[in-house]
């Protein structure tokens, strides 16, 4: 087993609250660090590696204990293996998330084959690091890829990176998620849809209304429908908010 250690934030069991896997139970393996700084990020403070990683002893019970960072693969794999043995069949997959987990692409080349023996691997990513994705394709089962819009993220335009990433991700089961708010502009959605359609118009698109810090939705219902109407070049477009937040899930 690999001796590589990873800077982790937490590992826990919960219900997936976003995207096409919404409602499914997953193991969440959250890596620290991100190459972007989106203003709507629901996991702030990801730039610094925490001193300790929180591991859940019993899946879904929030009985966390601390282990020092970085965390060895053997520690994580042993924990997840204990869950799959004692609670067989309750988890759909492992969500490898962040931050941006592809910052640790070299490490994941060693970790994912081990974790894949326990559960299928689902990658949650901001879709900006295609060079890190390419070697991992054989080890992934599905990918949830963001498109980061300049108006809602405060980030610079990333269209070229997103396009290159999606062309690779389309080798696997993939969907695209876009966080939308009242400030989202028509051209951003149109350009996103044209990019997706150029790769495969059958790739599902999720429009995710932005959730404010107080839990309210940052876009009105009419504007949401107007943005959805711009996506006619794609075969499957869904509007799904962050459901885990109002369910009280992590």
**97 in a known ligand binding site:** yes
**193 in a known ligand binding site:** no
**41 in a known ligand binding site:** yes
**186 in a known ligand binding site:** no
**43 in a known ligand binding site:** yes
- Residue 205's nearest CA partner among 162, 235, 169 is 235
Q: Distance between CA 147 and CA 133 in Å, rounded? A: 15
**42 in a known ligand binding site:** yes
**15 in a known ligand binding site:** yes
Instruction: Report the C-alpha dihedral over residues 148, 150, 153, 156, rounded to 10 degrees.
Output: 90
Neighbours of 7 (CB within 10 A): 18
Q: Distance between CA 93 and CA 56 in Å, rounded? A: 16
**34 in a known ligand binding site:** yes
- Extract the annotated binding site: 15-17, 30, 34, 38, 40-43, 97, 99
- Extract the annotated binding site for S-adenosyl-L-methionine: 40-42, 99
- Extract the annotated binding site for substrate: 15-17, 30, 97
- Extract the annotated binding site for Mg(2+): 43
- Extract the annotated binding site for [4Fe-4S] cluster: 34, 38, 41
């Amino acid at each position: 087993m690999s001796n590589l250690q990873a800077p982790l934030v937490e590992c826990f069991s919960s219900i997936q609250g976003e995207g096409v896997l919404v409602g499914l139970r997953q193991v969440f393996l959250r890596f620290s660090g991100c190459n972007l700084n989106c203003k709507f990020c629901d996991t702030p403070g990801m730039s610094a590696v925490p001193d300790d990683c929180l591991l859940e002893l019993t899946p879904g019970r929030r009985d966390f204990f601390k282990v020092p960072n970085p965390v060895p693969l053997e520690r994580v794999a042993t924990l997840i293996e204990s869950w799959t043995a004692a609670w067989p069949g309750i988890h759909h997959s492992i969500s490898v998330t962040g931050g941006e987990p592809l910052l640790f692409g070299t490490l994941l080349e060693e970790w994912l084959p081990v974790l894949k023996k326990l559960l299928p691997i689902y990658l949650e990513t901001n879709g900006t690091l295609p060079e890190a994705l390419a070697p991992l394709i054989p080890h992934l089962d599905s990918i949830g890829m963001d498109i980061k819009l300049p108006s809602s993220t405060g980030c610079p335009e990333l269209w070229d990176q997103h396009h290159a990433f999606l062309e690779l991700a389309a080798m696997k089961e993939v969907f695209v998620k876009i966080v939308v708010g009242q400030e989202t502009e028509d051209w951003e959605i149109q350009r996103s849809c044209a990019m997706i359609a150029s790769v495969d118009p059958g790739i599902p698109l999720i429009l995710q209304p932005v959730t404010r810090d107080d839990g309210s939705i940052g876009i009105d219902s009419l504007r949401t429908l107007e943005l959805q109407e711009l996506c006619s070049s794609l075969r499957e477009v869904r509007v799904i908010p962050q459901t885990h937040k109002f369910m009280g899930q992590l």
